[in-house]
Amino acid sequence: MAKMSLALSDTLNQLGQMFTGFEHESRVLRPKDAKMLRRILKDLGQQARSIECQLSAKLWNEEARKDRAAEAARIASAASQPGSNVTLFPVIPRPFSDGRPGGAA
């Protein structure tokens, strides 16, 4: 997963601070401020969606890894049971070359 950024939580905290003045007295949100708020919320929503997608992919991949490991263990267990039709290949000498011309092959 990519390096996590604190931009989402930092911006949410800043946004909360912007509204502390509204707690003590009535105020009116000007149209340009409403536009800015909508833009900020849209950006925050996109950042949150990106993080959710990354997390979802990570969790999905971890589960798939667990499933593959469990399946491999199940197959290995079944193959090692008496009466299984799985047989190991015989070990035979293999030619070796060191990659140099005239090397042993």
How many Cβ atoms sit within 10 Å of the Cβ of residue 11?
Answer: 15
Q: Residue 32: its pLDDT value, please?
A: 95
Confidence bin at 102 (pLDDT 50/70/90): low
* Chain segment 18-38, per-residue pLDDT in tens: 888 888 888 888 999 999 999
Give the tokens for residue 92.
């035979």
This prediction's pTM = 0.59
Per-residue 3-state assignment (H helix, E strand, C coil) for the chain: CCCCCCHHHHHHHHHHHHCHHHHCCCCCCCHHHHHHHHHHHHHHHHHHHHHHHHHHHHHHHHHHHHHHHHHHHHHHHHHCCCCCCCCCCCCCCCCCCCCCCCCCC
pLDDT tens readout for residues 3-14: 668 888 999 999
**Domain regions of the chain by residue span:** 52-77
Residue 103 has a pLDDT of 58
The predicted pLDDT at position 1 comes to 47
Q: Which pLDDT tens digit goes with each residue over 51-93? A: 999 999 999 999 999 999 999 999 888 888 888 887 778 888 8
What is the residue type of 60?
W
